[in-house]
Structure 1
């Protein structure tokens, strides 16, 4: 698809407000927003990124406030707010919505987790990255058809929401030029947000049971969880935290590992890390849960019973035997960023402007 077959559009991509959109990314959603902006621009569209202060390549005149836990870092959480922060975030989104309306964008591609944007008359295309959030679900219901169009990162995620019209399922994509294949190695790897719902402690237990050392990377999003569940398991050489890495550092790490563990303890909507690992040729052992289980069912990967350490340890050994070029080729064929950007560009051409 080229601009000869689709109309050039002026797009505002609204990111979530909690963390800056920059490397090292706070999570998969932040990574998705940044990489999609670049990919859609490469197709010839104009894309302005609206994001939290401290982001890279965003519209600096209209920034979202972000979240700061500087007064009490031990209370830091990916879901809670410090006093006053939620009200400030809502006010910022109302201000942003008025700005977007004045600017007259063709599309407002909403990737935020706020209910506020549905209160304003905007040409919305909202990507659903999470299971249904009650406040957002209520705002969509109140807006009705004015809520615009929807996409979801998996069929499982789409099914969790009640929408004015069905969501188009567009799984996320991976920049396969960045996430390049590597030789593998002896250790297993886990990477992502270090929070309870990502289940790192179960990956540590499974690797210990499987007799394979584990390297793990990521941002500590819950300090209590890290101190009570992760630190006690970091004994000897069984598990080593390598810190928070940018994409280049992660690619180097993951491509030199034997297998990648993906261990969600919630109904994971997509699980971008699994596909990034597979783009490196590193086979995945994952819990069969949510959109992740849905999308990996037909993949060269090993799926385990959710929350079952024995099952996961067995899956680690199965995954380690999968041919690395086969793993890489599957992701290139099914989940490349270029394919995803083209699908979004097609949808942009279908969204009525206001």
Structure 2
């Protein structure tokens, strides 16, 4: 198949540090190429890929100090993608909603994966206005706030099996918090859990501009107050393997409808169990007492911190391999591409050879 992947421009593909959506787009793109598909990646110019790269800005917008407004770059990217749309079997968008009016007016096969939260009040009338465009959710829980729309499927995220090595014997006995400093991620709860459990906590997380005040007013003083807490900052893929692999458990004390939570399966890949609050996708991702412990209170999380070390790390890794590899993710997306409305009709004239080519 000829597939176009249209990625966000905030980070490169794959990101050098933090970046969930761009990371998944990169993993999917590389796996589709490995499986023999002809893939074009519309992304930032500093992205690295075995697919054809169409650079839509010089570098990841988050790191380009010359850029103050990302919107013009997205409009230019959409213009480039739609100009070539007829040459693809499918266009796969990962950029939320800017492209929707174009898809209603252009006869192309397209699908959009929604990577973010969908409970914001302004989104409901928007998606009600575009009820027929084909969408993919990254968890079943993510769908809950939506009006009736045209869901093409749910595809859980996946990682390359060899990306993060399995760690049989962790060298540290600490709890880990990885991701982003923000109120909905509740790093304050992570600090409280670690303090009450009497365990060290290492925090590897980025701080967005919008969350800088929260860091300065709430989290930074808590870090300074607790000698068992260490703030590391943003880390790269190599550092992530060491950071997660050597932890007793990953703390995921979220207080919002998390659409997926990539860090959970990153920890699982390392064999590190996850202690997660039962919000959003968590019950879909974590197998209780196999890959982690699902909790509903800080008291339960403190108790789980003591129990987590007893969970067999081989079982945690096995759960990852059975459910969250990039091979599985790519196969599920290919099935969705093949089932898109109009796919068979447009290829009927090609005969059986055309149908086989789509497989």
In structure 2, the residue matched to 1:114 is: 97
TM-score calculated relative to the size of structure 1:
0.84
2:23 to 11, 23, 31: 31
Give ranges in structure 2 of 5+ residues lacking alignment. 347-359
Counterpart check, 1:243 vs 2:233: yes
In structure 2, the residue matched to 1:283 is: 273
Q: For residue 109 of structure 1, report the CA deviation from its aligned partner.
A: 0.8
> Is the 2:42–2:77 Cα contact (8 Å) retained in structure 1?
no
Distance 1:96 1:158 in 2: 30
In structure 2, the residue matched to 1:270 is: 260
In structure 2, the residue matched to 1:62 is: 56
Q: For residue 90 of structure 1, report the CA deviation from its aligned partner.
A: 5.3
> Is the 1:27–1:193 Cα contact (8 Å) retained in structure 2?
no
SS at match of 1:175: coil
CA RMSD of aligned residues (A): 2.6
Q: For residue 181 of structure 1, report the CA deviation from its aligned partner.
A: 1.3
SS at match of 2:251: strand
Q: For residue 253 of structure 1, report the CA deviation from its aligned partner.
A: 1.4
Q: Deviations over 1:128-160 (max 9, x none)?
A: 222325666545443443x2x322111111233
Q: 1:125 to 1:331 in 2, by over 3 A?
A: same
> Is the 1:197–1:264 Cα contact (8 Å) retained in structure 2?
yes
TM-score calculated relative to the size of structure 2:
0.83
- Range moving further from structure 2, 61-70 or 252-261: 61-70
In structure 1, the residue matched to 2:142 is: 157
Q: Deviations over 1:190-243 (max 9, x none)?
A: 111222222222111111111110112122222222222221122364111222
Q: For residue 328 of structure 1, report the CA deviation from its aligned partner.
A: 0.9
1:1-354 counterparts in 2 under 5 A? 9-57=1-49, 59-63=53-57, 66-67=61-62, 70=65, 85=69, 87-89=71-73, 91-101=75-85, 104-120=87-103, 121=106, 122-132=108-118, 137-145=124-132, 147=133, 149-182=134-167, 183-184=169-170, 185-221=172-208, 222-235=211-224, 237-298=227-288, 299-305=290-296, 308-351=297-340, 352=342
Give ranges in structure 1 of 5+ residues lacking alignment. 1-8, 72-81
Q: For residue 322 of structure 1, report the CA deviation from its aligned partner.
A: 1.0
Structure number with greater Rg is 2
> Is the 1:53–1:66 Cα contact (8 Å) retained in structure 2?
no
- What is the aligned length? 330
Q: Deviations over 1:14-63 (max 9, x none)?
A: 11233333333432222111111111111101122212354333734433
SS at match of 2:61: coil
